Amino acid sequence: MKRHVITGLNALAVFAALILVWQAIVSIFHLPQFVLPSPSEVASVIVSRFLPLIHSLLITAIAAGGGLAMSIVVGVAIALAFAQSPWLRRMFYPYTILLQTVPIIAIAPLILMWVGAGTWSVTLVAFIICLAPIIANTTQGLISVEENLVHLFLMHNASAAQLLFKLRLPHAVPNLFVGIRISAGISVIGAITGELFAGSSRVGEGGLGYSILYASSQLQTDYLFALVIAATVLGFSFFFLVTFLEWQFLHTWHESKRILEAL
């Protein structure tokens, strides 16, 4: 416990030092606000434009969260199908890797064209970027069950459904969470990328990505910083939420009980 407090204090000290260096650079070089705003200016714009900032954050959070949730449902379904048939796996697995390697920034304009601007296309971009890690990790968990455990189930004449839902799926839950943790981080990146292209169907109103574009076009660099901080906070919150859920699900039986301590 004491060790954790000290680690926390150290991290806080680094943060304070960075802020001080930042403030010093701005003061010494007399940088104009549109090039590099000082920490105090960023802080004050966070306060003065708190409501629109939170509004943008929530829009992005909903799209990122929605995309993530969709990717979990669809990804697990695809992984279950893969686990049932090696044939299906060999046929389609290469395409999930393709899904991961294709640059999302190149797809986003296409999706905007097909789906139209707004939350739906942003959610879809987040969904696409989240899907591959979910499929890959869950499939791995489903098929890496020890042969002896399968034999144990066969000795009790277990049905295919019993094998899947009482053995393979619970076995894959830790892997699924690894996938979700990866996807949670990139879901925010996906949503913001989507918003850069399709962030709003109404002028002046949109998620963090849209607001970042708007603020940079207006040279509102202080607000731009505030938006970047908001995006980081959002990514972190997603990560912590997933880590918490993972702990809730796994701490009774899995060695990853130590996840929280490892942070």
Partner 1 sequence: MSFAALATPEITCKGVGKQYRGKQVLEGIDFAIPKGEIVSILGPSGCGKSTLLKMIAGLTSVNSGEISVDGMTPVNAREIMSFIFQDATLLPWRTVEKNVVLGLELERASRLRQRQKAEEVLALVGLSAVAKSYPRELSGGMKMRVSIARALATKPRILLMDEPFAALDEITRDRMNEELMRLQKTHSWTVVFVTHSVAEAVFLSSKVVVLAASPGRILDIVSIGLGETRNSDTRDTLSFEEEVTRVSKLLRGAQRV
166 lies in the site for partner 1, by CB under 8 A: yes
Closest contact distance (angstroms) between CB of 259 and partner 1 is: 15
Can you list the pairs that 163-169 forms with residues at least 24 positions away whose Cβ atoms lie under 8 Å? 164/80, 164/83, 164/84, 168/83, 168/141, 168/142, 168/143, 169/80, 169/142
Closest contact distance (angstroms) between CB of 168 and partner 1 is: 11
Instruction: Find the binding residues for partner 1 in span 31-90 (CB under 8 A).
Output: none
153 lies in the site for partner 1, by CB under 8 A: yes
Tell me 118's DSSP state: S
Closest contact distance (angstroms) between CB of 116 and partner 1 is: 44
Q: Which of 152, 233, 241, 263 binds partner 1 (CB under 8 A)?
A: 152
156 lies in the site for partner 1, by CB under 8 A: yes
Kindly tell me which of 89 and 254 has the beta carbon lying closer to partner 1.
Answer: 254
Euclidean distance between CA atoms 202 and 192, whole angstroms: 17
What single letter denotes the amino acid at residue 63?
Answer: A
248 lies in the site for partner 1, by CB under 8 A: no
93 lies in the site for partner 1, by CB under 8 A: no
Binding piece for partner 1, criterion CB under 8 A, among 78-86, 107-115, 131-139, 248-256: 248-256
Q: 1-34: string of b/e by CB count within 10 Å (b at 16+)?
A: eeeeeeeeeeeeeeeeeeeeebeeebeeeeeeee
165 lies in the site for partner 1, by CB under 8 A: no
CA-closest candidate to residue 224, choices 233, 208, 212: 212
User: Using CB under 8 A as the criterion, which residues of the chain lie in contact with partner 1 when the complex forms?
Assistant: 146, 148-149, 151-158, 162, 166-167, 170-171, 173, 252-255
